[in-house]
Amino acid sequence: MDMSKKYDITFVGHMCYDEIIPFGERPVIAPGSAVLCGAMVAARVGKRVASVVKMAKQDEHILQPMKDVGVDTYLIPSGETTYSRVLHESENVDERTLTLVKSAGLISISEVPPLETQCAHLAGISDTEFDMALMKGLKSRGYSLSADMQSFVRHVTPSRRVEYRDVANKREIAALMDKLKLDVVEARILTGTDDLEKAAIIVESWGCPETMITHSQGVLARVQGVTYYEKFSNSNVSGRTGRGDTTFAAYLSWRQDQDPRTSLKFAAALVSIKMETPGPFKGTLADVAKRLQEKHFPEADQRRLSPA
């Protein structure tokens, strides 16, 4: 383990097996997780990336796609690897039934190596991964901290079904974060409104200066009291799973060097490409530049793609 390395972003969470059951189609099982989706994006757009993952050591081979794009992986051994089942019960891709068949368990601060990283992102898929002690511990290391609120809203019941519920310590979590990610369902549960801007303003009032909320049509960001919005431009939704993880990772990566508006457009363009093909984002910066020019920037408002 090389502790002399410096990283732009470190993704923390479980690796898992995703069993996706599309509406009216056969199930597909593949390695997944918010960590995988996010780390692959950040690495492909040129960031120095680490992933800290809790999983069974015998499944370590599923980390290879991340390693292949230059992500340094740090494995926390567990008795089992998380296994998630996603059932799409209608043609509406935002209506999903989730079951967490297996979980690798909570990650403690003592298990996370003391990496030198600018940002630590809590990329979880349920409430079985992170607790306040971990978050406070990471914050005390001086990291810029971000989280996906699905890591807390998704409560795993004794029957292993995932239920979306309010989070008792949501204000405390938000106040610890420099950036937060939600989708429209999580926003409604946590704030009581599915108006994206109103929900973002409420989250902002809890003490988080930068909030992203995704829904089926696009993505909103609220940054230091200013609201930005960008529509998606995908032609199909075959790669819907991982939409939020990919959007936020792209935004988080680009935001380290760019303003919120440019970063949001970049994230929307990148995830639009990803949603047209199942699995993590496999494109290039050139692909994103092309999509930006064609779908996200009017001719009079071309922006350069390379970071400042």
Beta bridge pairs of residue 50: 10, 72
262: in domain: yes
pLDDT digits 0-9 by tens, 127-172 = 999 999 999 999 999 999 999 999 999 999 999 999 999 999 999 9
Range with the lowest mean pLDDT among 59-63, 223-227, 241-245? 241-245
What percentage of the chain carries pLDDT values higher than 90?
A: 85
181: in domain: yes
Our count of domains for the chain comes to: 1
Torsional class of 20: left (φ above 0), alpha (ψ -120 to 50), beta (otherwise): beta
Q: What is the pLDDT of residue 300?
A: 41
Mean pLDDT of the 192-217 span? 97
109: in domain: yes
Query: What residues contact residue 98 under an 8 Å CB cut-off, 6+ apart?
Result: 84, 85, 86, 87, 154, 161, 162
308: in domain: no
Look-up of token digits 């383990």 = 1
Q: What is the pLDDT of residue 83?
A: 97
Q: State the DSSP H helix or E strand holding residue 146, giving kind and residue range, or none if neither.
A: strand 144-148
Return the closest-CA partner of residue 242 out of 253, 250, 252.
Answer: 250
**DSSP code, position 161:** B
Q: Residue 308 pLDDT more than 50?
A: no
Q: Residue 1 pLDDT more than 90?
A: no
pLDDT band, very low/low/confident/very high, at 290 (cuts 50, 70, 90):
very high
Q: How far apart are CA 102 and CA 97, in angstroms?
A: 16
Q: What is the pLDDT of residue 224?
A: 95
Q: Which CATH number is 117's domain given?
A: 3.40.1190.20
Mean pLDDT of the 193-207 span? 97
Q: Kindly report the CA angle at 250 between 72 and 147, in degrees rounded to 5? A: 75
Q: How far apart are CA 243 and CA 216, in angstroms?
A: 9
* Side chain identity at residue 62, one-letter code: I
pTM given for the model:
0.92
CB 6 within 8 A of CB 116: yes
258: in domain: yes
302: in domain: no
Q: What is the pLDDT of residue 307?
A: 45
CB 70 within 8 A of CB 43: yes
Out of 103-112, 229-238, 295-304, the most confident range is 103-112
76: in domain: yes
Of residues 203 and 96, more confidence is placed in: 203
Q: How far apart are CA 203 and CA 171, in angstroms?
A: 8
Q: How far apart are CA 97 and CA 161, in angstroms?
A: 8
62: in domain: yes
Mean pLDDT of the 108-125 span? 97
What range defines the domain where residue 39 resides?
6-297
Mean pLDDT of the 253-275 span? 96
